[in-house]
Amino acid sequence: MDRNISKCYDVIVVGGGITGAGTARDCAMRGLSVLLVEKFDFTNGATGRNHGLLHSGARYAVTDSESASECIRENMILRKIARHCVEETDGLFITLPEDDISFQGTFVEACRRAGIRADIISPEEARRIEPSVNPSLIGAVRVPDASVDPFHLTTANILDARAHGADVLSYHEVVGILQENGRVGGVRVRNNHNGEESEMRARLVINAAGIWGHSIARMAGVTVNMFPAKGTLLVFGHRVNNMVINRCRKPANADILVPDDAVCVIGTTSDRVGYDTVDNLEITPGEVDILIKEGEKLAPALASTRILRAYAGVRPLVAADNDPSGRSISRGIVCLDHESRDGLAGLITITGGKMMTYRLMAEMATDLACKKLGVSKPCRTATAPLPGTGGTDGDRPGKFYSTAHNAARGRQGNRVREIEEQRAEDRALVCECEEVSVGEVKYAISQLHVHDLVNLRRRTRVGMGTCQGELCACRAAGVMCETGKEAREALADLGSFLNERWKGMRPVAWGSTLDESQLTATIYGGLCGVDRLAVDD
């Protein structure tokens, strides 16, 4: 990658979540010179810590029709431009005996008004098409929900931004906003690997840092009132459902169960938390209990399904400008022109919204940026397929492909053809649970901004399966060494990767999950001495 850090970009996008990645792509596609900076790894924030649900919008139809309409439009767009990241599962909104069945009529009516197809089906039909559903349901509505992989969606946007000339820097944290003559002229960044600071100049800075956008705005001397809302989710060991299952009632805790890849995810809770906690979210036993208790109402099998881990993210909710107290909070998209709002030219904030409306958010921010920069190119992101969806995979119909190849195609889409699989060494598996080959790991290391094992996990699913790194972590670290990482560094990375896995397992550490973590600790700590070696060095 060619990084010309001395040049002045048209736009610097701050934040490597899906919004930042989408904005960088849109800007680059419209011919702007773009730099994307992210303080840690892509998808490290809310992008990587949600359900992976491609909302149909039905969930918001009754309470927020604007969000609902946005969702269904983006839903249909993403199915086309990011086909490889979307699984067209459809979803059910079920009414249980304790729910008010009359809500169903209101719900279906609201869906139709928002342009969301909503078909009432009989409980028998619901049980037939989704056998895991709570059999005591008294009503069901089928909607075009789907499952989407936010990790691969972000990766695809970054790849396309790069393909259109954008520069991309992960592990570069904005520590200051450069201002001259009352306008923003760039950012001061710190390389979080080596601590070095440097200045990056641009005609425009777009703040797409999610919840951290609060601090970015403050660095520029303006205020964006963010209200962090923590959402906790549980990952189960395998899929019990193949359709999204929701409760047909007003949105509440733990009422969505999504099939994602080889697992399913229940969530979420919703609690306002202090801004000081957003970098270190704690998951409480109470939250875990609510998720299991409510989850088994959707699909009773969850009560006896192994829980792999728990995780939490923070929704970047924004207070409306006319209400700094935060009482009236919008869940919609917020695009702030700080020039007109605060008299500070050169800064735009794009926030609020949802993971799945990222493209629309990016379009809004880019439209504003283009207007300011005097560029009149139209947005093409709604029709141009992302890398992985565009082109063909090169697979021949009828030919046998290995499970790892098929799994890799599910993650990388048509880019699977860039994965080396001629040699047996490359076909060998690094991660057996998630079918990740040595070839795919090498591809991710060389193409997808992988610096450590956590990065690798997000690009490939290494370590996301049942064993949570037990067998794959050391193999993956080995491949990273082969491709140039220092052994000492790889060893330290291995230790921190395993600790990161344990962090998510700890809130649900009982039964087989506890047994597994014990075995992992015995292998790495007791047998290999990883913890000691890392310290001794």
Partner 1 sequence: MAERIQLKNISGNNLEQCLKCSICTAYCPVSAVEPNYPGPKHSGPDQERYRLKDEKFFDEALKMCLNCKRCEVACPSGVRIADIIQASRITYSKHRPILRDMMLANTDFVGTMANMVAPIVNTTLGLSPVKAVLHGVMGVDKHRTFPAYSSQKFETWYKRNAAASQDSYKKHVSYFHGCYVNYNYPQLGKDLVKIMNAVGYGVHLLEKEKCCGVALIANGLSGQARKQGQVNVSSIRKSVKEDHRTVLTTSSTCTFTMRDEYEHLLDIDVADVREGLTLATRFLYRLIEQGEIKLAFRKDFKMRAAYHSACHMEKMGWIVYSTELLKMIPGMELIMLDSQCCGIAGTYGFKKENYERSQQIGSGLFRQIKELNPDCVTTDCETCKWQIEMSTGYEVKNPISILADALDVEATMKLNS
* SS3 sequence of 482-495: HCCCCHHHHHHHHH
- Interface positions, 496-515, toward partner 1 (CB under 8 A): 510-512, 515
Q: What single-letter amino acid sits at 432?
A: E
Taking contact as CB under 8 A, which single stretch among the options 63-71, 173-181, 201-209, 429-437 is the one that binds partner 1?
429-437
- Smallest CA-to-CA distance from 196 within 170, 178, 176, 172 is with 172
Backbone angles phi and psi of 279, in degrees to 5: -90, -5
Taking contact as CB under 8 A, which single stretch among the options 222-230, 237-245, 357-365, 445-453 is the one that binds partner 1?
237-245
* Closest distance of CB 301 from partner 1, Å: 8
402 binds partner 1 (CB under 8 A): yes
433 binds partner 1 (CB under 8 A): yes
Residue 312: both structure tokens together: 């939490």
Binding residue for partner 1, selected from 64, 149, 167, 261, defined by CB under 8 A: 261
**Is-contact 247 93, C-beta < 8 A?**
yes
Binding residue for partner 1, selected from 35, 82, 189, 467, defined by CB under 8 A: 467
| Tokens 């989407």, located at residue | 148
239 binds partner 1 (CB under 8 A): yes
* Closest distance of CB 385 from partner 1, Å: 22
**Is-contact 319 329, C-beta < 8 A?**
yes
* CA-to-CA dists, residue 489 to 14, 53, 469, 471, 477, angstroms: 28, 36, 18, 19, 10
Q: Which is nearer to partner 1, 21 or 429 (CB)?
A: 429
Q: Which is nearer to partner 1, 15 or 413 (CB)?
A: 413
Backbone angles phi and psi of 27, in degrees to 5: -60, -45
Please tell me the distance from the alpha carbon of residue 68 to that of residue 469, in angstroms, as a whole number. Answer: 38
* Closest distance of CB 183 from partner 1, Å: 51
Q: Which is nearer to partner 1, 193 or 293 (CB)?
A: 293
* Closest distance of CB 500 from partner 1, Å: 18
* Closest distance of CB 472 from partner 1, Å: 9
Quick note: the x/- pattern for partner 1 over 356-395, rule CB under 8 A, is ----------------------------------------
Please tell me the distance from the alpha carbon of residue 26 to that of residue 33, in angstroms, as a whole number. Answer: 11
Residue 128: both structure tokens together: 């037939």
* Closest distance of CB 51 from partner 1, Å: 17
242 binds partner 1 (CB under 8 A): yes
432 binds partner 1 (CB under 8 A): yes
Peptide bond into 466 cis (omega under 30): no
Rounded to the nearest 5 percent, the helix, strand and coil shares of the chain are: 40, 25, 35
| Tokens 């050391």, located at residue | 474
519 binds partner 1 (CB under 8 A): yes
Q: Which residues of 210-225 are buried (b: 16+ CB within 10 A; e: fewer)?
A: bbbbbbbbebbebebb
Quick note: the x/- pattern for partner 1 over 270-309, rule CB under 8 A, is ---------------xx-xx--xx---------xxxxx--
Residue 465: both structure tokens together: 């399966």
Q: Give the DSSP letter of residue 345.
A: B
Q: Which is nearer to partner 1, 107 or 236 (CB)?
A: 236
483 binds partner 1 (CB under 8 A): no
Q: Which residues bind partner 1 (CB under 8 A)?
A: 237-239, 242, 259, 261-263, 285-286, 288-289, 292-293, 303-307, 400, 402-403, 406-407, 429, 432-433, 435, 465-467, 470-471, 510-512, 515-516, 519
